[in-house]
Structure formats: C-alpha cells, structure tokens
Structure 1
Amino acid sequence: MRWELDWLDNRARLSPNKQAIIDEDTNKTWTYQEINTRASSVAGWLKEQGVKKGDRVALLSPNHISYFDLLFACGKIGAIFVPLNWRLSLRELIEILQDCTPLVIGIHQQFRNMFTLLENTISTSIIVGGSEYEEVLKSRIETDDTNAISENDPLAMIYTGGTTGKPKGVVLSHQSIQWNAINTILSWNLSEEDVTINYMPMFHTGGLNALSLPLLMTGGTVIIGDQYSGRKVVQSINRYKCTIILLVPTMYHSLIQSVEFQDSKFPSMKIFLSGAAPCPMQVYEAFQKKGLAFKEGYGLTEAGPNNFFIHHEDAQVKRGSVGKPMLFNAIKLAREDGQEAKENEVGELLIKGKHSFSHYWNNELATMETKRFGWVHTGDLAKKDEDGFYYIVGRKKDMIITGGENVYPLEVEHWLAAHSEVDEVAVIGLPDEKWGEIVTAFIVQKTQNLLDEQELRAYCEKKLGKYKIPKKFIQVDELPKTHVGKIDKKKLKELRKHA
C-alpha cells in the first residue's frame, strides 16, 4: 500500500501513546499504536478469509470500535468497508447485502438475533464484540503489498437513507475520505488538542467522516457515544473535556431543554456544530444566551460531508448561514436555465472537489444524473448573499409550487418554530386541484392546549407573504424522523395520503 494512503500507520508512528479513541460506556481507551495494531490484525484475518482488493466487508453494529477496526483494515488491503444501517428492516438489509455482495460480515453481539438470518447470505460472518472477535485481534497475520492500492480505489461504501427511493451505495475512494479530512482540519483549524464525542450513527457519513476521521488524522481524541440524551451529553462533554461536537437539530432540540444544559458552563468547549438539516433559530438563541459558540454546517454523503466554514461570530450575525466554501472545494449555484445564480438568487447547490464520491454502486444512470462535468448536483437549493455567505433554503424536491408561486418550506418552518407554543414543525406541499399544491404545516405543540388555526394564520401574516401562509395546520403528537434525526417529509406525505 502507498505510504501516504495508510495515514493511520504514520499517525501511530508520530503519536504512538496518545489517546485516540475512548468508549463512553466502558471508558476503555485505545492509543494510536493500539488502534493501528488492531487494524493490522483484522486486515490479516480478512486476508486469511480470502478477502482481496475490491471485495466488500460489511458491518452491522451500534457505535463501536469495530467501525474503525474494519475501516482501517480495509484500507490496508484494498477492500471496501460497508457499514449497515441497523435501524432498517431485515428485508431492507438483505436487499442491500444482495446489492453489495460482501465476502465477510461482522455482526455485533447486540444483534445476535439477526445473525442466523443474515449469515446464510454471506460466505463468512463473525460476531463482533465477542470472544471470537477478540481472538482475531490477537492474531498477527502478515499482510502483503502485492495488490498496489491507489488513491482512486474505493475505501468505503455508505448507503443513502432512501427517503427519496431505494437506497444507493455511495462509493468513497481513499482520495474522497482523505481530502475531506485534510480540508476539514485546515479549514476548521482542528489540532491534536481537540476532543469530540460522537453520537452520530457511524453507519452514516456524519458519524465517520464529519469529525471522527479528521480528528484522528490530526492526532486528536474521539469518544464513541451510543445512546444519546441531553443529560448524558452534558456529563460526557465535561467529563472528557470535549472541545468540539457535532449534533443534529433534533438532538439540540432536546439538549437545550435539559436542566443540565442550563446549569453547565461547558468550560472546555470551543464550538458546537449542527448538521444534517437546517437548524431552528431558537437553538441559536439558547446558545447565545449562554455565551457559547454555535454554528451550522452543510454536507452530504456524496460530498465530504464537510463543505463550508463559518466563524462562530459571523454565525450569530448571519444566522442560518453555513458560511463560505472551505479551502479545497468549489461551490456553484445553478438556476433552472443552467446559468449561475446571482446574489440572493436561489439556485441548485453544486459542489466540486477531491472529496466528492466516485460513483453509485451498480447504478451508472444515477451516477451520471448526480455527477456531471465533475460537479456534484446536490438537489439542495441555496442562495449567496452580498458578503459571500451561503444559505440552504431547502430541498429541490421539497419546493412547493402553489398557484404558480415558489414557496421554500424552510422559511415558513423557521417562522412557525419561533412561536412560543410550537415545539416542532414541518411544512410540505399537498396536492390540490385549484392551487396545484397547498402549503401544509404539521405542528407539535409544547402544551396540551390546541393552538387556534386563526391564531396561527394571524401569526404567519406578521412575517410571510399571503401565498406562503399554510392553508392547512395539522396538529400531531410527533414528527417522523429518519435514522439520522432528520424530519422524514416523505413519510409525512404518506401518512397524510393514508389518513
């Protein structure tokens, strides 16, 4: 393997005894030398099982050290790591396994009940976290470099959430993952002094690539978290003296309401990051009141996921902005006619850089639709202000066309979420014979007293144009969420269709 691709081996040489990874639940700690040794042992075992360059190695596990074991092991022998979303149904998992055809699968002992159901679909399987796995980690089977690995070879394949259809396997090369880490380290000024705790699911790019791998590359420390709660995260941040953390808006929603958040001063924290979905303004308010640095980012599995940087002071002035493009990527906003959007004009967000994905697995058509002339077409709509700061305004597919007017749900959601009695809100377009689509708001209230529809409409009139005001307000107990905490608007539409 080329020396510059096995950066873990080099990091272990530079920082052998530095704490690299800590398990939150057990407080078990691994140094860089230890995680490199583990990865080498697993790589040797995989070779012994017949895994060659280009073969897939799958993992079904909650957040666990085995994600790093298998990812780094695959990197050493040229295999492709495929983390599986354990929140999927058995049928969905089998469909993914049939698509990527892994030679080996690791199944965490927590999912032992699924072992017999899945092991027959794959030639070699192993229970992760058990005694058999521990024996693998003790092995010292030598690997060889007979199959040269290049930076364009695949390293990981992460399946998209599938909220817009069948999940697609996003193939990330060594180059994609390495350049996302380099870009993040330099643009965000990460260092070996930084510590994070990761509650993002590690089968998702946010759990692996957003902070974990960049921090390990620069010599920092990553704490593996699993079961998230507002109380738990505050305790762990202070216990491990974390400096940076990435959470999704739904996590921040529960965090800022916890007593522990109100009581803690977070002395070690430099910055709180939000990603995966646009963040409500009340979260900004909660952090500003405590004098804590907070900002948003933007990314997707196919690019990064890190693409922008904003200083936390700018984030308070430019609320809702994800900032400016990072050092080593380019951003463009394209209008429907293909021309580049002007200042404050909405266009589709296009991204270019060495951190972008290679292709979709077994899906050439989808690859050509998404990646054109080197640009990743994200399907997200954004605008850029006169100072060069970018704002995400919503998904292209979520834009509502009502009576010939374009409505961006995020604008309506932000205003409704600012209402003192609204806990959560989602806005979608529903079919209508007269208007084409009507703006519809699904609302979760903070109290049991039902908000009057006329009151909500009058509230919207204070800020929104008439055509943007929801024609329907639907009270719900909770909003459906995806496996990474995003509000699942596709499911909302399905629920309404069958209601």
Structure 2
Amino acid sequence: MQYAVDWFQNRVNLSPDKSAVIDSETDEQFTYSELNERANHLAQYFVEKGIGKGDRVALLAPNHVSYFDFIFACMKIGSVFVPLNWRLSIDELSYVINDCSPSLIGVHPEFQENIKKVRTEYGIIDIYANDYVNDLHARHSFAPVENIAESDPLAMIYTGGTTGKPKGAVLSHRSILWNATNTIISWNLTDKDVTLTCLPMFHTGGLNVLSLPLLLIGGKVVISPAFDPSKIVSDLVNYQCTIVLCVPTMYHMMVQTEAFQQATFPDMNVFLSGGAPCPHKIYTAFRDKGIAFKEGYGLTEAGPNNFFIDPGETERKVGSVGKPMIFNKIKIVNEKGQETHSNEVGELLIRGNHAFEFYWKKEQQTGETLVDDWVHTGDLAKQDEEGYVYIVGRKKDMIITGGENVYPLEIEHWLESHEGISEAAVLGLPDEKWGEIVAAFVVPNSKLSKEEVKQHCEKKLSRYKIPKKIILLDELPKTHVGKINKAALKEKTMNKT
C-alpha cells in the first residue's frame, strides 16, 4: 500500500512565514503557517466530533478561506471534503446533501436560509467570519493520523445535473496531488506565481486548476468571493497576479469594461480560459492589447488540467488546447474504439494518476466512464499532424442532419465573429425530413435581423451547416459555472413547438 503524504504540512515546513492566501474582500492575509494551524485545529475538532476516515464533511460557502481549512483538515484525518454548489435549487441541494450524507456541514451566513429549507439533521459549523476556526472548541492538540492511502478519497465534487441527477466524482489524495504536480511541472509554475481565484471553489476549476497547485509549489492564492468584472481587473493588477483562470462568459464580460481597456497587467504572464470552448473574439481582445492568452481543457473526472500550449503558439494554432501534459496520456477514438488519424474527429480519452476513482454510489456510470483506466470524456476532439489537440464539442451535442455530421462549435465560432453578435449557441432540433436541423440561438449586441445572420453564415459555411432555424434572444441561459446551458435552450424550444 502506498500511503498519502500530508504535502501541505511539508510545504509549511519549507515556507512557514510566506503569504499563502489573501481574502480580496477583507484584504486579510494568511501565511502558510497560519493556514496550517487553522487546518490542524479544525482537524482536531472533527476528530473530537467522531469524524474519521471516509466520513464526508461538506461546505456551503462563497469563495472563502474555509475551503482550504476544510480540505487540508480532511487531508490530515482521511475524511472526505464535499464542496456544495450554492447555486443549486433547494431540491437539488437537498439531493446532493442526502446523497453524500455528511457528518457535518460548514455553512456561511449567506446560505443559512438554504440549509434551513433543506431541513437537514446534520451537524452545522457556522462560517460567520474568517476567524470562525478560533471559536471551535477542541480539547486537545492535533496528532497526525497514520495509514491514509494514496487511493483513499480526499474530495468529492458533484458534476452535471443539467440532464440528470448530479454525480459525486470521488478524487483521491493521489488524484489531487498528481494533478497539482503535473500542472506545476508542465505549466512551469513557481513560488513567485500569484493567482486570483474567482471561479467558484465548489467547482474543480476554482479548487484544482490553480489554487491547490500554487499552494503546493509555495505560491499565493487571492480569493474573490464574487465576480464583478471591473473589480476582477482591479484585483488582478493590485495583487500583482501572474496567472488566472476564467470561463469564457467571464472574459466576455471583462473585456467590455473600461477597467480592462485601461489596464496593462504588468505582472501577468498568461490569462487562461477553461470550462467551455472560448470564442475567437476573446483571443482577439487580448491579442490587441499584447497580452498572453490561451485555452485549456479539463473535467472534474480527469485533472482538470490535461494540456499545455505556449501562448506564442495560439495565433498559429487558434482554438487548440495544446499537447498532453507530462504526466498524462490521451487518445482519440472512433465509434469502433480505434484510434483516429490526424484531423479525424473522435471521442477524447484521458489516462493518468490524476483521474477520479469512481462516482459515489453509481457503479454503472463509473464503469461506463472509467474503462481500463481510461476516462471517456464524452467530448469530441481531433489532433493535427503536429500533435496539437482541438476540442470540437460534446459527443451528445453533435448534430446529424440529412446524414451529415455537424459540430456546433464551428458554427458558433463563425457566428460570434460577426461584430453584431455577442453570443451564440448552436444545437440540433428534431425534424421529420432531416432527422435533425441546425438551430442557432443568437444574442445580438446591435440591431440585427435573422436574414443578416443567415447571410453571414452563407459566406463561409457549407449549405448543410447553415442554421435552418435562427432564434434571436436577449441572453442565453447559463449553468451554475457560467457555461451556456444548451439543455435548457432545447427544453424551452421543444416546449414551445
């Protein structure tokens, strides 16, 4: 058996007095030593409450230092950290809580009413301020717990939910450590790096893309509890951030602010985009300012970090997420399970020690997703002759119209290249003649007719790719992490027909 290492304790030994975390709302700072003392205190409190190896401990809070308190406390005693999505409906939140059955839930005042509506009988810790840990009464000092294996669960992050019940993806100590190590080495992170975590930390993007990797290498994490595009720009400059991750929707809002237009970001090495394919006009906005910008790809079940591309290559390889990182493998397979040729579209499979262990209480879904140690992502991709990978879209989103395969992302990119279009989403709708038709949902930023949208499509797209149905909207529905919610679009459209 390979035993897990309390790597955070070891990092503290190396960098005790260095600033580790800053709360951008209060400007309060926590050194590595202070963060570890908090985790030790909380871990001992858990132990004295009877919480041990394998027990779940949940947290319902906006981005806050308590996320690190909880996950590092769980790391020390072998319990499982479950960050709860505070954007869920009461019914959805109730399902997740009852599914993971936590021994205890940390609750921020902002969400006290949500917990009351869930009517849970689980124990509660009130996360009322940054110093809440000091008021938790533990009778003894924390003593390290032995016999925690690398494969033991450390965190459980719930995914999906737009087309079914959310699934708890179980990440082991090994999964999280290898993702962090792979990220540090492949992306050349150092202890001089500073990030602003503005993605919600209940999501793997907020927790695992940069926050934990930077704390492993000895960098600094600035926590932003809410997303305000102008304030994000200000925080990136004021805290001298060197790297940041946002989803395309966030960048879409950010580049339109006066703050972005005036900022030069003197300390920033690179802006990262993830969570969904990034519109090419976002690339252009950063390129026009001479700022490095690139796209990544990941999912809760694998990483979420899997690829690296040098920002200098993004203009030559527009839309590529790059090549596989050092400690993971990928392959792209067709419907027969055979590896595809160059530029041939197939499903992306990923393998590595950073992969998830299983879905909580969902053996069948685990077996369908994790096959012979390969994570079947459900995403379609292609790899060019130089090994650069391009994400084409979700396998379930591919449109088959009149026997032709249509990949929505290609059409979405072309639609969004029109200066009068702010956002676009493309999906297939049932049709008696064609099987499916291409439907485009377009948010114009100026007066724009459906005919003008069609004419723009005719300039570049093959006839079978041109949307047969064009719907103009004021806005597109979004998921809990800012992705365009195509399931909601389709449901709304089908209910009208």
State how far apart, in whole Å, the 2-side matches of 1:246 and 1:308 are: 14
Contact 2:409 2:426 in 1 (8 A): yes
Which residue does the alignment assign to 2:198? 199
Pair 1:60–1:373, CA change in 2 (3 A)? same
Q: Which whole-Å deviations, capped at 9, do the CAs of 1:399-445 have from their partners, x for residues lacking one?
A: 00001100000000000000010010000101111111100000001
CA gap of 1:221–1:2, structure 2 versus 1, over 3 A, is farther
**Aligned partners of 2:4 and 2:173 also within 8 Å:** no
Report Cα offsets for 1:145-198 as digits up to 9, x if no partner. Answer: 565101000000000031231100000000000000000000000000000001
CA contact (8 A) 2:4 2:149 kept: no
Name the counterpart of 1:56: 56
Deviations 1:33-83 (A, max 9, x none): 000110000000000111010000011111111110000000100000000
Is the 8 Å Cα contact of residues 53 and 147 (structure 1) preserved in structure 2?
Answer: no
1:462 shift after superposition: 1.4
TM-score between both structures, scaled by the size of structure 2: 0.97
Shift of 1:4: 5.8
Superposed, which structure 2 residues align to 1:171-210 within 5 Å? 171-210=170-209
| Partner SS, residue 43 of structure 2 | helix
Counterpart in the other structure of 1:28: 28
How far is 1:119 from its partner? 5.9
SS at match of 1:155: strand
User: What is the rounded CA distance, in whole Å, between the counterparts of 1:10 and 1:310 in structure 2?
Assistant: 31
Equivalent residue number for residue 489 of structure 1: 486
CA distance, structure 2, for counterparts of residue 412 and residue 373 of structure 1: 35
* Aligned alpha-carbon RMSD (Å): 1.6
Gap change, CA 1:454 and 1:24, over 3 Å in 2:
same
2:227 maps to 228
User: Counterparts in 2 of 1:347-366, with a 5 A limit?
Assistant: 347-366=346-365
Relative to structure 1, the CA distance from residue 146 to residue 20 in structure 2 (aligned partners, 3 Å threshold; closer, same or farther) is closer
8 Å contact kept, 1:351–1:378: yes
Change (3 A) 1:51 1:411: same
Q: Deviations over 1:226-273 (max 9, x none)?
A: 221221111101100000000000001011111111111110100000
The secondary structure found in structure 2 opposite 1:223 is strand
Identify unmatched segments of 5+ residues in structure 1. none
Residue 239 (1) aligns with residue 220 (2): no
Tell me how far apart the structure 2 counterparts of residues 342 and 146 of structure 1 sit (CA, whole Å): 50
Distance 1:145 1:250 in 2: 43
Whichever residue aligns with residue 20 of structure 1, its letter is A
Rounded to whole Å, the distance in 2 between the matches of 1:293 and 1:433 is 47
SS at match of 1:317: coil
Alignment partners' CA distance in 2, 1:134 and 1:456: 56
Distance 2:286 2:336 in 1: 40
Q: Report the AA paired with residue 64 of structure 2.
A: H
Aligned pairs for 1:305-454 within 5 A: 305-447=304-446, 449=447, 451-454=448-451
User: Which ranges of structure 2 fall in alignment gaps of 5 or more residues?
Assistant: none
Contact 2:48 2:138 in 1 (8 A): no
Cα distance per residue 1:301-339 (max 9 Å; x no partner): 000000000000011210100000000000000101111
- When structure 1 is superposed on structure 2, of 112-121 and 90-99 the one drifting more is 112-121
Q: Which amino acid letter does the alignment assign opposite residue 53 of structure 2?
A: K
Distance (whole Å) between structure 2 residues aligned to residue 336 and residue 136 of structure 1: 57
Match in the other structure for 1:40:
40
Which of 469, 472, 488 is residue 466 of structure 2 equivalent to? 469
Contact map agreement 2:59 2:105 (CA 8 A) in 1: yes
Amino acid at match of 1:431: P
Deviation string, structure 1 residues 274-321 (Cα, Å, up to 9, x no partner): 000000010111111111000000000000000000000011210100
Rounded Cα–Cα distance in structure 1 between residues aligned with 2:145 and 2:225: 38
Contact 1:205–1:301 (CA under 8 A) maintained in structure 2: yes
Residue 397 of structure 1 and its aligned partner are, at CA, apart by 0.2
In the TM superposition, what is the alpha-carbon distance from 1:3 to its structure 2 partner?
A: 8.2
**Alignment partner, residue 212 of structure 2:** 213
Higher mean alpha-carbon deviation, 1-10 vs 366-375, is at: 1-10
What's the % identity of the aligned pairs?
Answer: 58
CA distance in 2 between partners of 1:150 and 1:143 (Å) = 19
TM-aligned CA deviation for residue 144 of structure 1: 4.0
1:136 CA drift (Å) = 4.2
Q: 1:127 to 1:118 in 2, by over 3 A?
A: farther
**Aligned partners of 1:40, 1:153: CA distance in 2, in Å?**
20
Residues 73-98 of structure 1 show CA distances to partners (whole Å, capped at 9, x for unaligned) of 00100000000001111111111111
Cα 1:414–1:146 change in 2 (3 A) is: closer
Q: Tell me, in whole angstroms, the C-alpha distance in 1 between the residues paired with 2:441 and 2:291.
A: 31
The correspondence for 2:455, drawn from 439, 458, 463, is 458
Contact 1:192 1:220 in 2 (8 A): yes
Distance in structure 2 (CA, Å) of the matches to 1:131 and 1:496: 45
Corresponding residue for residue 163 of structure 2: 164
- With over 3 angstroms needed to count, the CA separation of the structure-2 counterparts of 1:311 and 1:140, relative to structure 1, is farther
**Secondary structure of the residue that 2:305 maps to in structure 1?**
coil
**1:110 deviation in Å?**
1.4
Q: CA deviation at 1:140?
A: 6.7
**Offset of residue 452 of structure 1:** 2.5
Counterpart AA for 1:174: H
Amino acid corresponding to residue 354 of structure 2 in structure 1: H
Distance 1:261 1:224 in 2: 20
Contact 1:309/1:326 (<8 A) preserved: yes
Residues 282 and 418 in structure 1, CA contact (< 8 A), matched pair in contact too:
yes
CA contact (8 A) 2:41 2:133 kept: no
The number of equivalent residue pairs is 496
Amino acid at match of 1:29: Q
Cα distance change, pair 119–216 in 1 and its aligned pair in 2 (3 A) = farther
Conserved 8 A contact 1:309-1:325: yes
Question: When the two structures are superposed, what TM-score results if normalisation uses the length of structure 1?
Answer: 0.97
Do the aligned partners of 2:3 and 2:149 also contact (CA within 8 Å) in 1?
no
> What is the CA distance between 1:2 and its match in structure 2?
8.7
Following superposition, the deviation at residue 117 of structure 1 comes to 3.4
- One-letter amino acid of the counterpart of residue 94, structure 1: S
Query: Matches of 1:107 and 1:118 in 2, distance apart?
Result: 13
What SS is found at the alignment partner of 1:236?
helix
* CA deviations over 1:9-39 (Å, ceiling 9, x no partner): 0111100010000000000000000001100
Q: Which residue of structure 2 lines up, in the alignment, with residue 112 of structure 1?
A: 112
3-state SS, counterpart of residue 120 of structure 2: helix
In structure 2, the CA distance between the partners of 1:2 and 1:349, relative to structure 1 (3 Å rule), is closer
